[in-house]
């Protein structure tokens, strides 16, 4: 059972739809007791960094999430903004992130040529970096590609935490893993068979 954390930010229906499609059981929950007993978590997220961190604090879920991720060490997958929250900080906001991964979130607009549109929106390719169970078999697929929508990108401090890389004006970490903590910048739930493959991998972790 994969529990999708509902803290009020994100397109949860489509993640649940894809879990159903790949034959994994999933549930959406905002209940601290349910999340506190979860054996696998997805942390989704669409919107602004500070707004998301505020919601996580206000919902009272922060201690439960920390306990699952850092003590029980259940697999956690952050998606899009949910991945960025795993890091320490973001140039989008002033609040600290969850800090489960030594990484910073940086602003595309300050670093890429102005003729490139921001957000980085659409289908882009990924290259595998450090091997990970999340990306197993991906490199064997022809042109593995995913759907991205984001204006900020993650940069890991430890190169070994980077499992996927993507280029848009610069090279950034589009997939990360540190132990039981996983994150992807793109939307696997909106990325056809590539997304199904990746979420099936997560279901098996």
Partner 1 sequence: MLRVRVIPCLQLRDGALVKTVQFKKPAYIGDPVNTVRIFNELEVDELAFVDIEASRLGREPNWALLREITDECFMPLSYGGGVASLATAERLFNMGFEKVIINSATLTTPGLIAEIARVFGTQAVIAAIDVRTNWLGRAQTASHSGTRTGDMTPDRWAAALEAEGAGEILLTSIDREGTWRGFDVRLTASVTAAVRVPVIAHGGCGTLAHMAEVVQQGGASAVAVGSLVVYQGQGLGVLVNFPERDELARRLGGAA
Residues assigned a catalytic role? 80, 187, 189
* Least distance (Å) between residue 120 CB and partner 1: 7
H/E element, 166 = strand 162-167
* Least distance (Å) between residue 176 CB and partner 1: 20
What is the total count of residues that contact partner 1 (CB under 8 A)?
Answer: 35
Task: Identify the residue among 116, 131, 139, 141 touching partner 1 (CB under 8 A).
Answer: 116
Binding of partner 1 by 121 (CB under 8 A): yes
Beta pairing partners, 165: 127, 173
Task: Identify the residue among 100, 147, 153, 202 touching partner 1 (CB under 8 A).
Answer: 147
- Give 92-99's long-range contacts (Cβ < 8 A, gap of 24+): 92/48, 92/49, 92/50, 92/151, 92/152, 93/48, 93/49, 93/50, 93/53, 94/50, 95/49, 95/50, 95/53, 95/54, 96/53, 97/49, 97/53, 98/53, 98/56, 98/65, 98/66, 98/69
Q: What are the two backbone dihedrals, phi and then psi, of residue 130, each rounded to the nearest 5 degrees?
A: -60, 135
Task: Identify the residue among 46, 74, 136, 205 touching partner 1 (CB under 8 A).
Answer: 46
* Least distance (Å) between residue 74 CB and partner 1: 25
Binding of partner 1 by 125 (CB under 8 A): yes
* Least distance (Å) between residue 102 CB and partner 1: 27
Contact 158, 120 (CB under 8 A): no
Tokens 């078999």 locate to: 137
Residues in contact with partner 1, shown as a per-residue x/- string from 166 to 205 under the rule CB under 8 A:
-xxx-----------------x-xxxxx-xx---------
| Residue ranges that bind partner 1, judged by CB under 8 A | 11-14, 17-18, 21, 46-48, 116-125, 145, 147-149, 167-169, 187, 189-193, 195-196
């Amino acid at each position: 059972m994969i529990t999708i954390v509902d803290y009020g930010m994100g397109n949860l229906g489509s993640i649940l739809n894809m879990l159903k499609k790949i034959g994994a059981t999933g549930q959406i929950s905002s209940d601290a007791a349910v999340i506190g007993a979860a054996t696998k978590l997805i942390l989704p997220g669409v919107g602004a960094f500070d707004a998301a961190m505020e919601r996580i604090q206000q919902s009272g879920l922060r201690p439960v999430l920390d306990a699952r991720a850092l003590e029980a060490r259940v697999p956690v997958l952050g998606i899009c903004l949910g991945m960025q929250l795993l890091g320490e900080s973001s140039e989008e906001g002033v609040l600290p992130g969850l800090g489960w991964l030594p990484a910073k979130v940086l602003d595309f607009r300050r670093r890429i040529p102005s003729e490139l549109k921001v957000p980085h929106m659409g289908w882009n390719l990924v290259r595998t970096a450090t091997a990970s169970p999340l990306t197993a078999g991906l490199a064997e697929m022809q042109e593995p590609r995913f759907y991205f929508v984001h204006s900020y990108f993650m940069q890991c401090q430890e190169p070994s935490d980077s499992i996927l890389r993507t280029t848009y004006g610069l090279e950034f970490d589009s997939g990360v893993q540190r132990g039981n903590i996983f994150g992807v910048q793109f939307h696997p739930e909106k990325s056809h068979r590539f997304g199904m493959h990746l979420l099936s991998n997560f279901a098996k972790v």
